[in-house]
Amino acid sequence: MSNAIDYLDWRGDVKFDAAPFNEIDAVICSKLTSLDFTGIVPAEGGAALRDAVDAYFERYGDRDVRLGVLLAPGAVTMVKKMLASPRFDGLSIHDYINRVDSGNTEQFCAMTLELPDGTHYVAFRGTDDTIAAWREDFNMSYSDAVPAQRDAADYLCRAMERFGGKFRVGGHSKGGNLSVFAAMKAPEQFQERILNVYNFDGPGFRESVKNDPGYMRIRGKIRMFVPQHSLVGVLLVNDSPYEIIETNETGMAAHNAYTWQVLGPRFVRCDKFSLRTRVYRDAMRAWADSLEPEERQKLINAVFDALESTGARTLTDLTEQRVRKAASAARDLLGDEHERAVFTESMELLARAYISSARNTLPIINHFQRRKK
């Protein structure tokens, strides 16, 4: 089965006037944010895709590499095929922003693409390898808006003020969450110019988002795609309709959009999530519901303060020894015995959820359980 990169081999010679923009084009645009164009594409200004990529290759080389624990290789291969593709001929990148601010607990990256069909696509990057990015993601579980979400809303408004015409907004992982947040916070006159909002396996929001007037206006334009083995898109509340996609990987590897199966101009759909994902989703929601927002905040701060106390700044930096040291430090950072008890109970709840998931999904465990009966 093919994926989004293979799509460029057979669809790349078909221009948008012959075959309109589709969901595979959207994930390709979103994944362009995996490449670091800092100092190449200005924060206020633009560059042709070919010029930007040539400068990127000169600085970083032209081979696909893993960018930390989560950002799997594929973006370089993808962009090479885009450059050879008449479909994306004339695409330009504008207003590139990329920053990680540990002090403000923020990781944010965005770009505006001017497409050959005359529309614009605002793309937001997902969570990168930094611990600050992961702390910000977890902060979504108790905060109505984290810094990256507010900056995404501001960025989209600036882009729509600067450029006329129709827009699409999208992103993968946290970038999908930022896309929905930015679109729902946009003024109504801007929302009317948005064609679609693409959320590729992005985490959800707190329950209160369902009643947000801006969200209710934009909800019908949201296109959410979640792999059958999702571990990210099922977090928190995703009230918009979603479509489940077949992948050739399981577990966290299925979060990689290059593993999603493509047939023609569409992802290949499947009927339901894997059993592992359903158990994981229910366990994580039960765990979150068992804690008050203030307790979640204290636990999250303790865990991430402890991780940073080891000297690690990225997930790649986290050796097994550092993780063990952080787990011990996190408990000590909590202020009183009640908080330490909540922390311990919370970790035990998560452990039980993962054990339950394994028992229900791993054939070898089921086999031995049957033999014992």
Asked whether residue 151 is assigned to any structural domain, the reply reads yes
How high is the pLDDT of residue 165? 97
Contacts of 60 (CB under 8 A, 6+ apart): 36
How far is 251 from 277, CA to CA, in rounded Å? 8
Write down the residue that tokens 């206020």 correspond to. Answer: 44
Q: Based on the domain organization, do 265 and 334 belong to the same domain?
A: no
Taking only the tens place, the pLDDT of each residue in 45-84 is 999 999 999 999 999 999 886 655 455 678 999 999 999 9
Q: Which two tokens stand for residue 282?
A: 């229910």
Residue 359 pLDDT class (50, 70, 90 cuts): low
How far is 34 from 67, CA to CA, in rounded Å? 9
Range picked from 197-206, 297-306, 338-347 for highest mean pLDDT: 197-206
How high is the pLDDT of residue 335? 54
Average pLDDT in the 148-153 region? 95
Of 153-157, 270-274, 299-303, least confident by mean pLDDT is 299-303
Q: What total of structural domains would you count in the chain? A: 2
> What is the four-CA torsion angle of 285, 288, 293, 296, rounded to 10 degrees?
-140
Residue that finishes a domain, picked among 224, 247, 274: 274
Q: Based on the domain organization, do 207 and 302 belong to the same domain?
A: no
Asked whether residue 214 is assigned to any structural domain, the reply reads yes
Taking only the tens place, the pLDDT of each residue in 172-194 is 989 999 999 999 999 999 999 99
Asked whether residue 139 is assigned to any structural domain, the reply reads yes
User: CATH no. for residue 79?
Assistant: 3.40.50
Amino acid sitting at position 330 = A
In the three-class reduction of DSSP (H, G, I as helix; E, B as strand; rest coil), residue 231 is classed as coil
Domain holding 347, by residue range, is 291-372
Asked whether residue 279 is assigned to any structural domain, the reply reads no
Residue 225 phi, psi dihedral angles, 5° rounding: -125, 130
How high is the pLDDT of residue 49? 98
How high is the pLDDT of residue 105? 74
